[in-house]
Structure 1
Amino acid sequence: MKPVVALLGRPNVGKSTLFNRIVRSRQALVDDLPGVTRDRHYGDALWEDREFTIIDTGGFLSEDDDYFASQIKEQLTAAVDQADFLVFIMDGRAGLSPYDRDLADLLRKTEKPVFYLINKIESHRQEDELGEFYALGIDRFYQVSAEHGIGVGEFLDDLVRDFPEPGEIEEDETAPIRVAIVGRPNVGKSSLANRLFGEKRVVVNEKAGTTRDAIELSVVHKNQEFVLVDTAGIRRKGKVREKLEKFSILKSLKSLDDCDVALILIDCEEGITDQDITIAGYAEKRGCGAVFILNKWDLVDKEEKSEKEFLKDLRYMSKFLSYAPALTVSALTGQRCHKILGLAAKVYGEYCHRINTGTLNRIIEDAVYREEPSLHKGRRLKFFYATQVAAKPPCFVCFVNYPNAVHFSYQRYLKNQLRQMIPLSLTPIRLYFREKTGKIDFSGKTKETERIRKKKSRITSKRQKLRKEQSRKKRQRDKNQAG
């Protein structure tokens, strides 16, 4: 296992900024507003050929000071228990805080190595004003600026000194299935993530907008590893005004770009809304696999609306995602939640599917034979051959003589034939049309054979014209003799 490093400190001391600096990406949301981070956020880092996992945590406060303080403290305690090394970050601009003292007392009780950082130090004048921090009884402080990278390298050199050598860590080469949990605010995304993870891993609250960042959770189900991404709720654009919420939504949409399968959560108690369908459209546009998760099914009055009626409404409103399976669950009680990852794995299997070129061409040939495409400007539309060019999702290219003449209804017909014959009933399909490149067509005629056929056709045409001309001259002679 790779070493695990946890970043700790009160709100707004720069933990997420340092996290982004170490992992060398903007994974964690950063804002001047205190308390942006509420959950544990994991990232992989590399320094001096030493790999390690780093955890960004929420800001440490007493339970009376913040609406989410008690749950954030639970997440922080879990991070401390999981970590091998602890990094306590303080704010050099704001000075020593009572919360710093409380957290320092808490960390003294652990036997794990603790590194003490004073952040936001960007000048020599600030270095001269740090005497108050020595009241904590700590000998060594690292003076850094996470925003500008000052002093971070020296701290990381000392941090990785006791890490295992690069060759001592074994990595699993099997890529996990990435599953993004998306939906409107307060539909139960974090509750479902905790249920699938098996413990309270992310903060859950009835208040909408509790989750602000995309939180990744690693889960193993039936010997298959999954990475669950709990995302922030996506509201209608017209209702989003705060800068922080805009960034949260952008992170949620980025999670759809990076995932293999999207779990689209719908609140059954509220019913299917236009925003639910809009979010489903985001998943369809990005080409990821999709599963509709109808949450809070335990709160629905079954006599008023049955599961069959609910699914009928869903299919009517989301015709563009007709291939996406749907499952009624309750994240609160765990009803049918054990089926979700198995269903996601099944969707992923089709999402990665590849088909033999010969089989693909026979399917297209049979489809064209049963239902010929309409004429294009009086000319026949010919399909020469097809091939699969990519997976995730399966992408096919058909080479034809008039690519722009393939009607959208005929494209839908070909897609349906592919779904039935391969079969690919649970995944999106991309079908493209290109102009032919001289390869063999379905009738088996080569380019040379086609050239000979055209030459014979021209000769036949000339002979027919000659016969017509001879017949015309004979009629003219007969007419002159009669006169």
Structure 2
Amino acid sequence: MTDTDAGDDGWVDIGDDFADAPEAGDKDAGAGLGTPGQPVLAVVGRPNVGKSTLVNRILGSRQAVVQDVPGVTRDRVAYDANWRGRQFTLVDTGGWLAKAQGLAAQVAEQAEIAVGLADAVLFVVDARVGATDEDEAVARVLRRAGKPVVLVANKVDDARSEADAQSLWSLGLGEPIMVSAMHGRGSGDMLDLALEALPEAPPERMGEGGPRRVALIGRPNVGKSSLLNKLAGEQRAVVDSVAGTTRDPVDELIELGGTTWRFVDTAGIRRRFRESQGADYYATLRTQSALDRAEVAVVLIDASEPLTEQDLRILTMVTEAGRALVIAYNKWDLTDQERRDYLEAEIDRQLYHVRWAPRVNISASTGRHVERLVPAIEQALDGWEQRISTGQLNAWLNALIAATPPPLRGGKQPRVLFATQAGTKPPHFVLFTTGFLEETYRRFIERKLREEFGFAGTPVKLTMRLREKRGKNAARRS
């Protein structure tokens, strides 16, 4: 039990084993998801010119991963931003190198895609270094794209840097706007120009309420980005055999089964939180934030390898956050019958606490059975929002208790007077009792509740309110 609190109405609130979760959709610090229907402003430039620092300056908080080494940002990442009462989506991108190879080439491709999807572009250049060959190559791409471009001369901290910034006229993108992302100098003037370049209203708008939010989470290199790319039908997130390639949550609007969903690919969760340092430390924070802001989590587990402590901890994160849950066993194509039999035994032994979660066996690389994710997600969301009437709940509960009464405690048998469903997302039930119910009995009630009413794919929160004796209340008041 987490806490005990006596109330003035003669009842004592007994907490449960689950932490209170924020309501789905709460705006908290962390990686923004970008709201459909807003104009889009992309921030591009070669590595280590201060793009993510500038993004944090615009947002007014440290949301983009920043570290004093090049190449920290790898994917394109969207955030909700506001300037002078105007809402827009800000997209941070990885360092853009025109002749990159390997992983760097994928990062550059994401930056080029971001320009194609944006309404306007902030092109960031290091004023102290001046226009490099790479900057000129990026400028040529931007001119061909035909999008409005604001040329940002960053790291202008003194008079000497101002003189250096004048050389950036050579890029052919107009007057360079001198700013210092680190200290905030000139950022207001820069945003004023950016807003002038953005359209008042985008050409397309999403319907009311927006798409349902699905977080893809799991330990590093389990296939989250590969699954996102397969669902999107394009190279949306950077994929590499090196574990931990994704550091920022990446979101994508994807139409599946006739419905538009917002999928969030998150950084792989490290073995121990305290072992994460630098960029990975902040990425872990944002992974938790992405989970908190999601409605349902698809936890990917590598079916070709034994279950790990990390897998179990991630599943616990989802249940403690109170989110709907689907378990996707990825890399199914790499398993043989012996491994599948052994996995079934592992699931029975180690995942009994989430046996209510829908299970899908998939292969993100080949696309095997990924279409089964949508029915599983819909089933989990239905359970997450399910409500039972008080009359139906108590009729069922009375019959259950009559057949199997609670065990004695201190020589007395506690009675359950009535119950009510206090909320949904996840379902929350309150039992009004005359005494404390043992944890084993409460879990018995939860198991029977699921057998009778379903609640597939969602944790169930069960709390108690104990009725105090009047004499005890009187003694307390005196």
Taking structure 1 as the reference length, the TM-score comes to 0.84
Give the equivalent residue in structure 2 for 1:291. 326
Provide closer, same or farther for how the CA distance between residues 260 and 238 of structure 1 changes in structure 2, counting only shifts above 3 A: closer
**Aligned mates of 1:408, 1:154 — CA distance in 2:** 60
- Check the 8 A contact 2:139/2:173 in 1, yes or no: no
**Aligned mates of 1:348, 1:148 — CA distance in 2:** 45
| Candidates 404, 409, 416, aligned match of 2:447 | 416
- Check the 8 A contact 1:177/1:348 in 2, yes or no: no
**Aligned mates of 2:116, 2:78 — CA distance in 1:** 15
Give the equivalent residue in structure 1 for 2:343. 310
Provide closer, same or farther for how the CA distance between residues 270 and 168 of structure 1 changes in structure 2, counting only shifts above 3 A: closer
Instruction: Report how far residue 408 of structure 1 moved.
Output: 0.9
Give the equivalent residue in structure 1 for 2:476. none
Alignment of 1:274-353 (within 5 A): 274-302=309-337, 304-306=338-340, 309-353=342-386
Give the equivalent residue in structure 2 for 1:474. none
Query: What are the Cα deviations for residues 8-40 of structure 1, in whole angstroms up to 9, with x where unaligned?
Result: 101111212222333444332111121111111
Which amino acid in structure 2 is aligned with residue 435 of structure 1?
A: L
Pair 1:45-2:81 in alignment: yes
**Aligned mates of 2:164, 2:233 — CA distance in 1:** 47
Moved more, 125-134 or 384-393: 125-134
- Check the 8 A contact 1:62/1:69 in 2, yes or no: no
Higher helix share: 1
Which amino acid in structure 1 is aligned with residue 186 of structure 2?
A: G
Query: What are the Cα deviations for residues 284-331 of structure 1, in whole angstroms up to 9, with x where unaligned?
Result: 2222222221111111123x333x552332231112212112211110
Pair 1:234-2:284 in alignment: no
Moved more, 199-208 or 275-284: 275-284
Pair 1:433-2:433 in alignment: no
Give the SS at the match of 2:297: strand
Which amino acid in structure 2 is aligned with residue 417 of structure 1?
A: K
Which amino acid in structure 2 is aligned with residue 72 of structure 1?
A: V
Give the SS at the match of 1:36: coil
**Aligned mates of 2:256, 2:240 — CA distance in 1:** 27
Moved more, 94-103 or 426-435: 94-103
Moved more, 135-144 or 287-296: 135-144
- Check the 8 A contact 2:122/2:194 in 1, yes or no: no
Give the equivalent residue in structure 2 for 1:193. 228
Give the SS at the match of 1:410: helix
Give the equivalent residue in structure 1 for 2:53. 17
Give the equivalent residue in structure 1 for 2:433. 400
**Aligned mates of 2:66, 2:93 — CA distance in 1:** 13
- Check the 8 A contact 1:180/1:228 in 2, yes or no: yes
Pair 1:381-2:414 in alignment: yes
**Aligned mates of 1:38, 1:289 — CA distance in 2:** 29
Provide closer, same or farther for how the CA distance between residues 206 and 298 of structure 1 changes in structure 2, counting only shifts above 3 A: same
**Aligned mates of 1:99, 1:58 — CA distance in 2:** 14
Give the SS at the match of 2:315: helix
Pair 1:204-2:219 in alignment: no
Moved more, 20-29 or 34-43: 20-29
* Max Rg structure: 1
Query: What are the Cα deviations for residues 118-149 of structure 1, in whole angstroms up to 9, with x where unaligned?
Result: 11223344323323223324431111122333
**Aligned mates of 2:238, 2:184 — CA distance in 1:** 30
**Aligned mates of 2:203, 2:457 — CA distance in 1:** 41
Give the SS at the match of 2:164: coil
- Check the 8 A contact 2:431/2:465 in 1, yes or no: yes
Provide closer, same or farther for how the CA distance between residues 241 and 4 of structure 1 changes in structure 2, counting only shifts above 3 A: closer
Alignment of 1:215-230 (within 5 A): 215-230=250-265
Give the SS at the match of 1:109: helix
Give the SS at the match of 1:290: strand
- Check the 8 A contact 1:50/1:166 in 2, yes or no: no
- Check the 8 A contact 2:270/2:276 in 1, yes or no: no
Query: What are the Cα deviations for residues 419-477 of structure 1, in whole angstroms up to 9, with x where unaligned?
Result: 12222132110000012499xxxxxxxx9xxxxxxxxxxxxxxxxxxxxxxxxxxxxxx
Pair 1:85-2:87 in alignment: no
- Check the 8 A contact 1:50/1:163 in 2, yes or no: no
Give the equivalent residue in structure 2 for 1:467. none
**Aligned mates of 1:101, 1:195 — CA distance in 2:** 34
Moved more, 340-349 or 272-281: 272-281
Provide closer, same or farther for how the CA distance between residues 138 and 235 of structure 1 changes in structure 2, counting only shifts above 3 A: closer
Taking structure 2 as the reference length, the TM-score comes to 0.84
**Aligned mates of 2:112, 2:199 — CA distance in 1:** 25
- Check the 8 A contact 1:384/1:436 in 2, yes or no: no
Instruction: Report how far residue 223 of structure 1 moved.
Output: 4.2
Give the SS at the match of 2:110: helix
Provide closer, same or farther for how the CA distance between residues 164 and 134 of structure 1 changes in structure 2, counting only shifts above 3 A: closer
**Aligned mates of 2:57, 2:207 — CA distance in 1:** 26
Give the SS at the match of 1:130: helix
- Check the 8 A contact 1:87/1:117 in 2, yes or no: yes
- Check the 8 A contact 2:273/2:284 in 1, yes or no: no
**Aligned mates of 1:286, 1:16 — CA distance in 2:** 29
**Aligned mates of 2:260, 2:462 — CA distance in 1:** 30
Provide closer, same or farther for how the CA distance between residues 428 and 44 of structure 1 changes in structure 2, counting only shifts above 3 A: same
**Aligned mates of 2:111, 2:384 — CA distance in 1:** 37
Give the equivalent residue in structure 2 for 1:98. 133
Provide closer, same or farther for how the CA distance between residues 215 and 138 of structure 1 changes in structure 2, counting only shifts above 3 A: closer
**Aligned mates of 2:317, 2:329 — CA distance in 1:** 18
Which amino acid in structure 1 is aligned with residue 357 of structure 2?
A: A
**Aligned mates of 1:191, 1:56 — CA distance in 2:** 21
Alignment of 1:55-134 (within 5 A): 55-64=91-100, 67-134=102-169
Which 5+ residue runs of structure 1 have no aligned equivalent? 439-446, 448-483
Alignment of 1:439-450 (within 5 A): none
**Aligned mates of 2:208, 2:333 — CA distance in 1:** 40
**Aligned mates of 1:180, 1:370 — CA distance in 2:** 41
Query: What are the Cα deviations for residues 215-248 of structure 1, in whole angstroms up to 9, with x where unaligned?
Result: 1112232343322111111231289353222222
Which amino acid in structure 1 is aligned with residue 278 of structure 2?
A: K
- Check the 8 A contact 2:166/2:176 in 1, yes or no: no
Which amino acid in structure 2 is aligned with residue 305 of structure 1?
A: R
**Aligned mates of 2:214, 2:339 — CA distance in 1:** 30
Instruction: Report how far residue 168 of structure 1 moved.
Output: 9.5
**Aligned mates of 1:133, 1:99 — CA distance in 2:** 13
The percent identity for this pair of structures is 38
Instruction: Report how far residue 62 of structure 1 moved.
Output: 4.1
- Check the 8 A contact 1:50/1:165 in 2, yes or no: no
Query: What are the Cα deviations for residues 389-419 of structure 1, in whole angstroms up to 9, with x where unaligned?
Result: 22111111111122xx211110011111211
Provide closer, same or farther for how the CA distance between residues 238 and 394 of structure 1 changes in structure 2, counting only shifts above 3 A: closer
Give the SS at the match of 1:280: helix
Give the equivalent residue in structure 1 for 2:423. 390
Provide closer, same or farther for how the CA distance between residues 115 and 275 of structure 1 changes in structure 2, counting only shifts above 3 A: same
